[in-house]
């Protein structure tokens, strides 16, 4: 007996994919930077110190006086001596007026006039303590500083982008195929 037989042989299709990746190139140029620092302004003002020394009294203690002071002192001493002389003469006149009351005023007055007064004297060329007057005003310093801020300038550079897109190539490597065989087979019963 004859039996029909169908034989199917298929080959699947095969796809080939080739990929080229995308590329990105990035370059970042450096930023432009400029910095300037102006100098600070400094002003110094000095008021000098003042020292005054007054030796007038020290020189006067050593009898080295200015002529105007000598004249003034001589005039004062003359007035004092004049008043003392007037007082002495008035006193002597009173004593002579009262001679009748007793006493002996003429020899007493003669004795007083003949005796020289005792003067006290010490070393004359050493000035007394505190006769030199010293006055001191210290110096003053005024300092003025003006700060100047730095001048900073920045120039920003944008990045440089270079983009190469990728692609995909798709192709058919092998086609699909279907083979059909039809035959009859003898089968023995």
The series of mean pLDDT values per 10 residues for the chain, 189 residues long, is 82 90 92 92 94 88 84 94 93 86 82 80 72 92 92 92 90 88 78
Closest C-alpha among 73, 115, 112 to residue 89: 112
Question: Residue 123: which of 66, 64, 73, 62 has the closest Cα?
Answer: 62
In the prediction, which pLDDT does 96 show? Answer: 87
Read off φ and ψ for residue 65, nearest 5 degrees.
-100, 155
22 half-sphere exposure, CB direction, 13 A CA radius: 5
CA-to-CA separations, 179 to 9, 126, 167, 172, 176, in angstroms, rounded: 5, 151, 36, 19, 10
Per-residue pLDDT tens for 88-124?
999 988 888 888 877 788 888 888 888 887 777 666 6
């Amino acid at each position: 007996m004859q039996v029909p037989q169908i034989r199917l042989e298929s080959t699947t299709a095969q796809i080939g994919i080739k990929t080229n990746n995308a590329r990105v190139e990035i370059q970042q140029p450096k930023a432009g930077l400029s910095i300037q620092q102006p100098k600070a302004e400094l002003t110094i003002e000095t008021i000098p110190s003042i020292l005054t020394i007054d030796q007038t009294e020290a020189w006067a203690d050593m009898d080295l006086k200015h002529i105007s002071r000598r004249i003034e002192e001589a005039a004062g001493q003359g007035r004092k001596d004049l008043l003392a002389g007037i007082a002495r003469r008035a006193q002597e006149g009173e004593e002579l007026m009262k001679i009748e009351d007793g006493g002996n005023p003429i020899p007493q007055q003669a004795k007083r006039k003949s005796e020289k007064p005792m003067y006290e004297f010490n070393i004359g060329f050493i000035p007394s303590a505190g006769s030199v007057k010293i006055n001191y005003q210290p110096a003053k310093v005024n300092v003025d500083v003006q700060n100047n801020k730095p001048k900073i300038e920045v120039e920003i550079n944008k990045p440089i982008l270079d983009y190469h897109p990728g692609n995909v190539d798709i192709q058919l490597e092998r086609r699909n195929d279907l083979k059909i065989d039809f035959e009859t087979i003898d089968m023995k019963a």
